[in-house]
């Protein structure tokens, strides 16, 4: 005779390793508000009262909370990240390009992710794959080495981008081209 079947237990999802940090829910508890209110305070501060905004900011400061930008990027489909590939950071031309990009992106509330590709096509293609997989809001290519396969992947990704075609020291001007 068979033993009676045990009732099925509901699967309990284990926490992922390394996720023991302060969460948005923790901030909400500290501030005495809901998690959606904390989200609004972070993303659209004008949508919450000044008193609530101050309570949320105070809870963030006390707790050391740092928003999970990956989760926010998934929800909004915006990473606020623009990637740039340069052959080298050793030359002054590329340093000027990096600084100009950093400044312009900061004004737009974005960050620069930098990849140094060297002067070989295989390394640039590998970096492009890694960058495209992270889905930045845009990609800037500098230098002259760009493989047909890399261009194909960029176009297929749908990520907007541009190509720095050169710097003219005499006029302090950068020529740029853009791909869709």
Domain ranges (residues) in the chain: 24-67, 78-179
Q: What's the pTM value of the predicted model, to 2 decimals?
A: 0.60
121 or 137, which is more confident? 137
CATH value of 78-179 in 1.20.1600.10, 3.40.50.150, 3.40.50.2300, 3.20.80.10: 3.40.50.2300
Band the pLDDT of 112: cuts 50, 70, 90: very high
- pLDDT tens per residue across span 153-180: 888 888 886 654 444 344 444 434 444 4
CATH value of 24-67 in 3.40.50.460, 2.40.160.20, 3.10.20.30, 1.10.260.40: 1.10.260.40
- pLDDT tens per residue across span 58-89: 999 999 998 877 766 666 667 788 898 888 88
CA angle 86, 90, 93 (to 5 degrees): 65
Tokens representing 52 are 């609530």
The CA-to-CA distance between both ends of the chain, in Å, stands at: 69
Tokens representing 65 are 């909370």
- pLDDT exceeds cutoff 80 at 17: no
- pLDDT exceeds cutoff 60 at 151: yes
pLDDT of the residue at 78: 73
> What is the average pLDDT across 96-113?
88
Neighbours of 57 (CB within 10 A): 15
Nearest partner of 117 among 92, 94, 93, judged by Cα: 94
Quote the CA–CA distance of 176 and 143 in Å, as a whole number.
Answer: 11
- pLDDT exceeds cutoff 60 at 6: no
Quote the CA–CA distance of 180 and 168 in Å, as a whole number.
Answer: 25
Q: What is the DSSP string of the chain?
A: -PPPPPPPPPPPPPPPTT--S--HHHHHHHHTS-HHHHHHHHH-GGGS-HHHHHHHHHHHHHHT----HHHHHHHHT---EEEEEES-SSSHHHHHHHHHHHHHHHHTT-EEEEEE-TT-HHHHHHHHHHHHHT--SEEEEESS---HHHHHHHHHHT--EEEEEEEETTTTEEEEEEE-
């Amino acid at each position: 005779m068979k033993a009676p079947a045990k009732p099925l237990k509901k699967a309990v999802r284990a926490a992922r390793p390394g996720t023991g940090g302060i969460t948005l829910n923790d901030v909400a508890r500290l501030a005495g508000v809901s998690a959606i209110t904390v989200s609004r305070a972070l993303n659209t501060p004008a949508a919450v009262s000044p008193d609530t905004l101050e309570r949320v900011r105070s809870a963030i400061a006390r707790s050391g909370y740092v928003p999970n930008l990956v989760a926010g990027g998934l929800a909004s489909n915006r990473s606020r990240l623009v990637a740039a590939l340069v052959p080298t950071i050793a030359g002054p031309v590329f340093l000027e390009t990096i600084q100009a990009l950093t400044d312009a992106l900061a004004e737009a509330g974005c960050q620069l992710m930098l990849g140094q590709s060297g002067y070989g096509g295989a390394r640039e293609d590998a970096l492009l794959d890694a960058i495209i997989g992270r889905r930045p809001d845009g990609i800037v290519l500098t230098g002259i080495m760009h493989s047909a396969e890399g261009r194909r992947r960029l176009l297929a990704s749908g990520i907007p981008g541009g190509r720095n075609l050169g710097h003219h020291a005499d006029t302090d001007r950068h020529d740029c081209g853009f791909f869709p």
